[in-house]
Amino acid sequence: MSSQKEQSLPTRLLFIRHAQTEWNIQRRFQGHGDSPITEEGQEQLQRLKSRLAGLEFDVVYSSDLRRTMETSKMLSGKQRVKEPRLRERGVGILEGLNLEQIMAEHAEAFRAFRSGDKDHQIEGGESLQIALNRAWIFLEEIPEKHPGAELAAVSHAGLIRLICKQILGLALDAPNFFQIPNTSLTQLVFSPKDRSWSLECLADTTHLQPVFDPLVVI
């Protein structure tokens, strides 16, 4: 049972996108499917581990897909939880295909998929609204389960973007004017006073920037 002091403190949830995968660099649609983390992705993981060194989260949540589970191993946590509601939006018949293959096999379905309609559901996949709904139910549970806690959640670009749009009051079908790079950090904070989530930091990739070496002369 949480104390009164814990209930008055903000709950912090750090969202982290998984490291780069083979399908990412091949520009294949990747929803509930999976592909191995690349060599560059492994380097991203090491940089992420260094960035978060010394931090121990109360709970580390992760989507149950392989790429997020592997990324979550870079984080230190008192407890680890696999959470299917943190999966990427399901892309159905587009799964694993590149744009050339999609236009050859599913051109009409793809045009509808890209129309921006938040309720459009491609064959075998999820609409933007359905994907957000499952993630938002997860978020609504967090403050009651973990008042005043420091948490992490390893998830996917599409889902993190939907959550951020909801918090910022943007339409789900609004243009994607911000990116969620691999291993980027997005900090959410829940205020017990306001009973709402806010966005403290969006897609921070400081750990991926080149390290300045003062001995190198340009």
Per-domain residue ranges for the chain? 4-208
User: Is there a catalytic annotation at residue 18?
Assistant: yes
Q: What is the mean pLDDT of residues 16-38?
A: 97
Q: Which of 32, 70, 83, 88 is catalytic?
A: 88
Nearest Cα to 153, choosing from 204, 77, 207? 77
Nearest Cα to 166, choosing from 133, 202, 127? 133
- Give the pLDDT confidence of 80-130 residue by residue, as tens digits: 999 999 999 999 999 999 999 999 999 999 999 998 899 999 999 999 999
The third-level CATH classification (topology) of the domain covering 4-208 is Rossmann fold (3.40.50)
Q: Given pLDDT bands bounded at 50, 70 and 90, which one contains residue 210? A: confident
User: Is there a catalytic annotation at residue 100?
Assistant: no
Q: Is 53 helix (H, G, I), strand (E, B) or coil?
A: coil
User: What percentage of the chain exceeds 70 in pLDDT?
Assistant: 94
Q: What is the mean pLDDT of residues 57-80?
A: 98
Note the helical H segments in 12-156.
Answer: 22-25, 39-51, 66-72, 99-105, 107-113, 128-145
pTM, rounded to two decimals: 0.92
